[in-house]
Amino acid sequence: MPPVIPRSPVSPARRRSASLLLSGTLLLAMTAAGPSVLGAAAATAPLAAQAAADTGPAVRVNQVGYLPDGPKRATVVTTATAPLGWQLRSSAGSTVASGTTVVHGSDAASGDSTHLVDFSAYTGTGTGFTLVVNGQASYPFDISAALYDGLRADSMSFFYQQRSGIAIDASLAGAGYARPAGHLGVAPNKGDTSVPCQAGVCDYSLDVRGGWYDAGDQGKYVVNGGIAAWQLVNSFERAKRAGTDAAVGDSTLRVPERGNAVPDVLDEARWELDFLLRMQVPAGKPLAGMAFHKIHDAQWTALPTRPELDAQQRELHKPSTAATLNLAATAAQCARVYAPYDAAFAARCLDAAKRAWTAAKANPNVLAPSTDNTGGGAYEDNQVGDEFYWAAAELFATTGESQYRDAVTSSSFHTAPADSPWWGGTSTLGRITLATVPGVGLPAEDLARLRTSLTTTADGYLTTMAGQGYDVPIAADGYVWGSNSSVANNAMVIAVAYELTGQQRYRTAALESIDYLLGRNALNRSYVTGYGEHAAENEHHRFWAHQNDASLPHPPAGSFAGGPNSGLQDPVALAQLTGCAPAKCYVDDIGSYSTNEVAVNWNAGLAWLAAFAADRTGVVTPPVTPKVLATPASVTVAEGSTATVAVRLSAAPAQNVTVAVARTSGDQDLSVTGGASLVFTPANWATAQQVTISAAQDTDTAAGTAAFAATGAGADGATFSATEADDDTPAAAACSVAYHVDSAWAGGFTATVTLKNTGQSPIPGWTLGWTFPGNQKITSGWNATVVQSGAAVTAKDSGWNGTVAPGATAGFGFQATFTGANTAPAQFTVNGAACA
């Protein structure tokens, strides 16, 4: 029987503080268990120098390779005090570039004496390159524009294989990784379909199936799932802005939903988002709208344990303000990003986000305690102002509502410096959203300051990298639990600075951060399974546990180890690494959960970074030309009355922009009578100004339409339309209209409208109109152009279905939201005439 290594009761895959240590009692208990617990390697307790002896060649490179147009740097471990010659050799052994090293000297984090090699000038491509210095050759590597395509896919495939509540398909994951669905209530699982609370927390059970297993254990945590889901969705947002979203579009990843016309990265993130929504306390229950903090086994799950064989009782843990705000933030982001693909799901997300925000405001100090650490990590957090800021930022970016803007601008985090994002410090996530999502309605000076705070923080990381032998964006004292996650997240901030400025030094630094993770480091090891000649392969995991049970697989390619941790917070690390330099405090052993665990938030950072590195866009030029925004895009104006259109800019202009609004075509009875000339400044560009459209009183029975343009030098123009609601009595039309609700759910429905020609002559083209008796709001339509202004709706044929022969019909459909009664319209008009 393979050795069983218990999990620590402290929060694995969560800690940021190097001060966290195992208690003496716990350590004594584990040590007393002897080799059966610690394993043979731990029992021999080798010195740190022995444990780290097999570090391979002295020439340290990114073992996957380099981009042709990217930086190409390496580190050489040597005590030589003078520069050394280097040669870049092809797979055939020929020298394709050469030069001399730069003496760097001592690297504080590793204790290594180092030289640096820069061969960025070489832009050729190929496989099997080696870098040779002083007769020593590096591990082989490639130079290719497609270098990171595989890592982008594999780092995201990790999430599919971490899914709970679904069978993992061999055709997607590989035969060795296929397994039945875990925690669906199939014996011996107790299941996640009806999970009770811990004693004293609640008196009901919830269906909280799905989501991702958090780390090497089989718990599911809202705060860690929140940042992981956000990073995957934000990765798509960033790619869409860069024009590279097709690379993570439909049928690009190994997920079962491929082929559904939704980008695969959003399909994957939705698996977790659905779980997060299920963790919300139901209406009518105490703390309604809050989110339960976590769900996991009552006791730490034994290692190894296949998910479908876990027989322990699962428990919901007390709701927390931090978890609730994670739900509010990720659900608000969901509402914004998923709207073009699934309007009903986006509306559900927004409803959950708003309810979570309201609940968190009412319960701002329901904090997760550090003592709740039996069977799962505590994920304690005693300061949730950063989560309030993040949630407010996401809600404001999605809705533009003043209550969320006020929460953003009144927060101390709004003017504080940006910092390294992690699950317990999320304000920078909100800052990234506000700084990058188009059309966020903040004053220009606020946006400029937010963007400057991000680039300033990125500059700090670049300064840190420049002082090191391995170019890592963390300081020598930053090698704590999940240090590799810090590297990836800091590199994400650097990459955001590149998006905001287009300055190549930021792209260079982000790519060099990946170099560190893939082998250019003090241990000459790639921390990503399956990537590099000398890569991690025994990460801490309950199912990917080949080191403990030969019938189980190694972690799949693309799994990301936590990395060096000078805290040595597990028995294996203590036994093998005592005395290690901070950057060398890592062991590729399944028992070293404090250095070698996997976690969804860590892999999310890697996936974000890999997707950025895989882009083939060259220099990103930040947007400089604002757009004129006119809302709504179509208005109905009662004859003899007026209606208004709100006009603003999408971003701050470099100087004042004067926008002229005028009719460009259509019925001359419709005209601009107010707001024909609007001035937007770099300070007031986001403040909407009103344009008044008037409809003259006339005697005809036609419902005229007109097109209007809002244009100005220094901005891209906008158009909108107006339709006159004629009050003259028209002759009855020879038609009938059938209105049928096809399906309905809480807050939404779909309907079909069918027009029949009951006359003797063809209808050559039709515009059908009605007024909703309730507060129904149409969100999308098909087979017609459907426009709503207030309660009034007009639907115009799509051309191909415009001619309706006598006795024939034409139909179209739409999806809408509603509250209260969903009463059907009482009267319909066709081309301005009431149907008989």
Structure token digits, residue 288: 């309604």
Distinct helix (H) and strand (E) counts, the chain:
18, 35
Region for 289 from its dihedrals, namely left if φ exceeds 0, alpha if ψ lies in -120 to 50, beta otherwise: left
Q: Are 42 and 504 in contact (CB under 8 A)?
A: no
Is 217 among the catalytic positions? yes
Is 380 among the catalytic positions? no
773 CB-side CA count, 13 A = 9
For residues 680 and 646, give the distance between their C-alpha atoms in angstroms, rounded to a whole number: 13
Phi, psi of 659 (to 5 degrees): -105, 125
Between the alpha carbon of residue 74 and those of residues 221, 505, 520, the distances in Å are 38, 17, 7
Q: Are 542 and 529 in contact (CB under 8 A)?
A: no
Q: Are 449 and 89 in contact (CB under 8 A)?
A: no
For residues 635 and 673, give the distance between their C-alpha atoms in angstroms, rounded to a whole number: 15
Return the exposure string of 510-525: e unless at least 16 CB atoms fall within 10 Å of the residue's CB, then b: bbbbbbbbbbbbbbbb
Q: What spatial distance separates the first Cα and last Cα of the chain, rounded to whole Å? A: 83
Between the alpha carbon of residue 90 and those of residues 62, 128, 518, 759, 807, the distances in Å are 16, 6, 20, 81, 77
Tell me whether residue 731 is exposed, middle or buried, using C-beta atoms within 10 angstroms of its C-beta: 0 to 12, 13 to 18, 19 or more: exposed
Q: Are 125 and 113 in contact (CB under 8 A)?
A: no
DSSP code per residue over 282-348: PTTSTTTT-EE-EEEESSPPPSS--GGG--SPEEE--EEHHHHHHHHHHHHHHHHHSTTT-HHHHHH
Catalytic residue, chosen from 597, 615, 667, 797, is 597
Helices 385-399 and 427-436 pack at an angle, to 10 degrees, of 20
DSSP code per residue over 666-723: E-TTEEEEE-SEEEE-TTTTTS-EEEEEEE---S-----EEEEEEEETTEEEEEEEEE
* SS3 assignment, position 81: coil
Nearest to 453 by CA among 490, 493, 491: 493
Region for 768 from its dihedrals, namely left if φ exceeds 0, alpha if ψ lies in -120 to 50, beta otherwise: beta
* SS3 assignment, position 244: coil
DSSP code per residue over 534-599: SB----B-SSS-TTT-TTSPPPPTT-B-----TT--SHHHHHHHTT--GGG-----TT-HHHHB-B
Quote the distance between the C-alpha of residue 288 and its chain's center: 26
Q: Which residue has the tokens 């004292």?
A: 477
Is 477 among the catalytic positions? no
DSSP for residue 206: E
Nearest to 41 by CA among 471, 589, 699, 674: 589
Structure token digits, residue 648: 């603003």
Is 104 among the catalytic positions? no
179 CB-side CA count, 13 A = 22
DSSP for residue 809: E
Return the exposure string of 483-500: e unless at least 16 CB atoms fall within 10 Å of the residue's CB, then b: bbbbbbbbbbbbbbbbbb
- Cα Rg for the chain, rounded, in angstroms? 30
Q: Which residue has the tokens 């994957």?
A: 268
Residues designated catalytic: 217, 540, 588, 597
